[in-house]
Amino acid sequence: MARSKEADVARLYHLHSAHVRARPLEPPFDADLRPLPFRTYLGSARTPLPGRDFAIDAPLGAVLERRRSIRDFALRPMPLATLGRLLHASYGVRGMRKIDGEWSNDRPTPSAGGLYPLEIYVATQAVEELPDGLYHYDARAHELELRREGLAHTALVGLTLDQGMIMNTNVVVVITAVPMRTMWKYGQRGYRFLWLDAGHLGQNLYLVATAMGLGPVAIGGFYDEELRRLLSLPAEEDAIYLVCIGQPAPAGSRTGTQRA
């Protein structure tokens, strides 16, 4: 039930996107409405990333046992290869393969229909050999595309309802979605799949970060339109989830603050 007097749009959406035997499945949209499967910003300055591998030496059981949200960070330089490996192991492109008879990316997360609607942007701070800034991750090329020069962390604190822990993180990963990549095929129900895809990617980021000795924390609350503007997102793309990653403060100096 809605908390305000507004219509309970969540419930309406849930009901209208439910599969019901009496209702035929929505047909796919016209092929020419189908968005490109990858975002590329032509003409932007590009930084090739090292760490296009899965060289993470930690047993999964131990990682799962250790995983938790970290909110106390010590800001120290982070090697560029650590950022590269974090991105590749979480959402890189391992190759191509056929899914449902169509060529699709082969990536470390599952994705409804193999359509991969998500894109990754990173706000970086104190990453070695990389000027602080906002970048788009071109997963095929394993390169960063510069979107905005300079530290974006202060702006990100302001538009995430003052989550000050961001200031000491090296990387704020912003997960965005191009809804039509998935809704083109699955219609209204496809909108559910975007968030499920994002959960898988968020968990990859959590586990890879933990395995590499880093600290992750998710953020679900932010001013949507302000974040769209900060990232200069194309009209067809929305920001949906953030995962901040930094280097955990030594145990004795943690304050244990908790939000959400």
Encoded tokens for 52: 């296009």
The binder of ligand FMN chosen from 221, 229, 234, 236 (CB under 6 A): 221
The binder of ligand FMN chosen from 178, 205, 219, 233 (CB under 6 A): 219
- Report the distance separating Cα 57 and Cα 60, nearest Å: 9
Report which of 49, 69, 64, 60 is spatially closest to residue 244, judged by C-alpha positions.
69
Residue nearest ligand FMN (C-beta atom): 220
Q: Choose between 228 and 259: whose C-beta lies nearer to ligand FMN.
A: 259
Q: Choose between 45 and 64: whose C-beta lies nearer to ligand FMN.
A: 64
Q: Is 217 in the site for ligand FMN (CB under 6 A)?
A: yes
Q: By rule CB under 6 A, what string of x and - marks binding of each residue 147-176 to ligand FMN?
A: ----------------x-------------
Region binding ligand FMN by CB under 6 A among candidate stretches 49-57, 63-71, 147-155, 175-183: 63-71
φ and ψ at residue 175, rounded to 5 degrees: -95, 125
The site that binds ligand FMN (CB under 6 A) totals a number of residues, namely: 11
Q: Choose between 178 and 219: whose C-beta lies nearer to ligand FMN.
A: 219
CB of 203 to ligand FMN, least distance (A): 9
The 3 state secondary structure assigned to the chain is CCCCCCCCHHHHHHHHCCCCCCCCCCCCCCHHHCCCCCCCCCCCCEEECCCCCCCCCCCHHHHHHHCCCCCCECCCCECHHHHHHHHHHHHCCCEEEEECCEEEEECCCCCHHHCCCEEEEEEECCECCCCCEEEEEECCCCEEEEEEECCCHHHHHHHCCCCHHHHHCCEEEEEEECHHHHHHHHHHHHHHHHHHHHHHHHHHHHHHHHHCCCEEEEECCCCHHHHHHHHCCCCCCEEEEEEEEECECCHHHCCCCCCC
Q: Is 48 in the site for ligand FMN (CB under 6 A)?
A: no
For 219, half-sphere exposure in the C-beta direction (CA atoms, 13 angstrom radius) is: 27
Region binding ligand FMN by CB under 6 A among candidate stretches 58-66, 101-109, 212-220, 227-235: 212-220
Q: Choose between 172 and 217: whose C-beta lies nearer to ligand FMN.
A: 217
CB of 241 to ligand FMN, least distance (A): 7
CB of 136 to ligand FMN, least distance (A): 22
Q: Is 75 in the site for ligand FMN (CB under 6 A)?
A: no
Q: Is 220 in the site for ligand FMN (CB under 6 A)?
A: yes
Q: Is 200 in the site for ligand FMN (CB under 6 A)?
A: no
Q: Choose between 83 and 198: whose C-beta lies nearer to ligand FMN.
A: 198
Positions that interact with ligand FMN (CB under 6 A): 68-69, 71, 163, 217-221, 259-260
